[in-house]
Amino acid sequence: MTRPVEQLVTLLRNPTKASEISGNQWTDILCVARAELLLATLAERLKGKIVPEAVAQIFADARTECAAIQQKARWEAQCAVTALAPLGIPPILLKGAAYLSSGLDAAKGRHIGDLDILVPRDRLDHVEAALLENGWEWVKEDPYDQAYYRQWMHELPPLIHRDRDGMIDVHHTILPLTAKPRPDAEAMIERADDIGDGLKVLDPHDMLCHCAAHFLADGDMAGGLRNLWDFHLLVSEFCTSERSFGELRERAQSHDLWPAIRGTLRLAHDLYGTAWPQDWGAKWSWREALFRRRLLARNGWGQETHPPLRFAIYIRSHWLRMPPFMLARHLWIKWRKGADAERSI
């Protein structure tokens, strides 16, 4: 029998399959969708399709919830504009907020948590000061974490607004400074599109590069199904011809992100049926097979499965971020802190 997580992927890919789902399977599928933050996305995707009344009600709840989340996300973005206006820096929105503000398909039903923005690295101190002045505060007071972020990461330690509770991640580049690929953040900032209201977003190819970097070259694939769905929709919207795929390839190569783009597209093609250009080579590799297994590692109760694989990919995400000695030191410090915290409970 097909597993619920695979049924979820099938429904996203082909909504007409909704009529083939039996009553008992829905509970599992909805539970998995919620755990993957894809419930409202599924609700949007199955709009107009015939589903049991109970499912329709749950979808209506998910839409209501999503509308409120997206309204808050728009407001948070405007608050960042206001805070940075005196510096003359229009924030470049990344991820969910960017899809939402530029009206892309990827925003439909998308959950948006933190606000992610990109700003020029040489203005970072000013941006930080402006945000602190406007009510944002540090989340991580821990000196090791603070120093770690500042020295090695691609973003400031996260800030949270003291009244609105909204989290902001200020990026100054695409990947950690210690990672091997070095995407050209300056060029991305240069090319960013103005979308009005004092906001900017990355140009389409850079947006795809960022999406893939975030998905494959950086993360441990938590929330991977959703991030890959973003990528699928972005490609479907931006790359409508052989030529545009060619341009994407060139852009990805200029950012050192060609393997990330190709690997992500392979997975998206496999799971969601995204177009695969003839000249991009073989569609399958053992690496992608492992990632695929990781992406689908969830059972019908919403529980995570395959702990060793999850752990391996978690380690890999760190391995990609930093050289071995630094990684060992980092994990040791993190582990000791975790152990201390557990003892103190």
Partner 1 sequence: MRYECRIHVGPAIFRIGSDWAQPIEQLKALYQPYPDCDDAIADFTIRLEAQRFYRRWFRPSVRLSGDYMLPDASPLPLTQGLLAAEMAMNLQMALGWRRHLLLHASAVERDGKVLLMTGESGSGKSTLSALLAEHGWRFLGDEFALVDLDSGDIQGFPRAISLKNSAIDVARDFVGDDARFGPLLTDTPKGAIRHLQPPESAIAAMGETAMPALLLYPSFGYPRATDTVPPTENFVRLTQASTNYVALGEAGFSALVNLVQRVPAHAIDFETNDEALELVEALWARVA
Tokens matching residue 44: 């949007």
Q: How far is the CB of 23 from partner 1 (least distance, A)?
A: 6
Q: Judged by CB, which is closer to partner 1: 57, or 253? A: 57
Tokens matching residue 230: 């973003």
Q: Judged by CB, which is closer to partner 1: 64, or 240? A: 64
Q: How far is the CB of 307 from partner 1 (least distance, A)?
A: 10
Q: How far is the CB of 134 from partner 1 (least distance, A)?
A: 22
Q: Judged by CB, which is closer to partner 1: 253, or 303? A: 303
Q: Judged by CB, which is closer to partner 1: 23, or 88? A: 23
Q: Judged by CB, which is closer to partner 1: 282, or 341? A: 341
Residue 138 is classified by DSSP as E
Q: How far is the CB of 100 from partner 1 (least distance, A)?
A: 16
Give the integer Cα–Cα distance in Å for 40 and 63.
6
Q: Is 250 helix (H, G, I), strand (E, B) or coil?
A: helix
Tokens matching residue 197: 């209201």
Q: How far is the CB of 309 from partner 1 (least distance, A)?
A: 17
Among candidates 75, 74, 76, 63, which has minimal Cα distance to 108?
63
Residues lying near partner 1 in the complex (CB under 8 A) are found at: 23-24, 26-27, 30-31, 34-35, 52, 54-55, 57-58, 60-61, 64-65, 67-68, 71, 301-303, 345
Between the CA of residue 211 and those of 31, 38, 50, 175, 281, what are the distances in Å? 26, 17, 33, 11, 21
Element containing residue 214 per DSSP (H, E): none
Among candidates 2, 34, 1, 5, which has minimal Cα distance to 297?
5
